[in-house]
Amino acid sequence: MPKAKHVVVILRREPQHPRTAQALRSAVGYLTANLRVTLVLGGPAEALLAPGLAPSPALPTLGRHLRTLQALGQQVVLASAIELEAVVAAADAVIAW
């Protein structure tokens, strides 16, 4: 089996925005196409993760998608905690929401 392509999904919308749930469902869906996913939460979307990088209990529906990605070994990171340019440069594709 060929090595999985790496897709970086950058999410910068507020957790309450309808497109936030769509972005998270898409990130999970990419796994079915044998893609490796790194989800980068930036700006208002950083509220989706509590300080310990666990899904925020205040957002249970969205947290399910985050937990699924994490349980399947995918990276979920805060943009403020990484070198975004390096992550993007190493990706095969980047999708911004």
Total-model pTM: 0.89
Residue 65: enclosing H or E segment and its boundaries?
A: helix 60-71
Banded pLDDT at 51 (limits 50, 70, 90):
low
Who wins on pLDDT, 3 or 24?
A: 24
Q: What is the CATH number of the domain that holds 82?
A: 3.40.1260.10
Predicted pLDDT at 61:
80
Q: At what angle do helices 18-30 and 60-71 cross, to 10 degrees?
A: 20
Rounded-to-integer distance, Cα 11 and Cα 23, Å: 7
**Using 50, 70 and 90 to split pLDDT, how confident is the model at 70?**
very high
Contacts 24+ apart (CB under 8 A), 85-90: 87/8, 87/38, 87/40, 88/8, 90/6
Helix/strand/coil (H/E/C) assignment for every residue in 3-34:
CCEEEEEEECCCCCCHHHHHHHHHHHHHHHHC
Domain that holds residue 77: 5-96
Domain count, the chain: 1
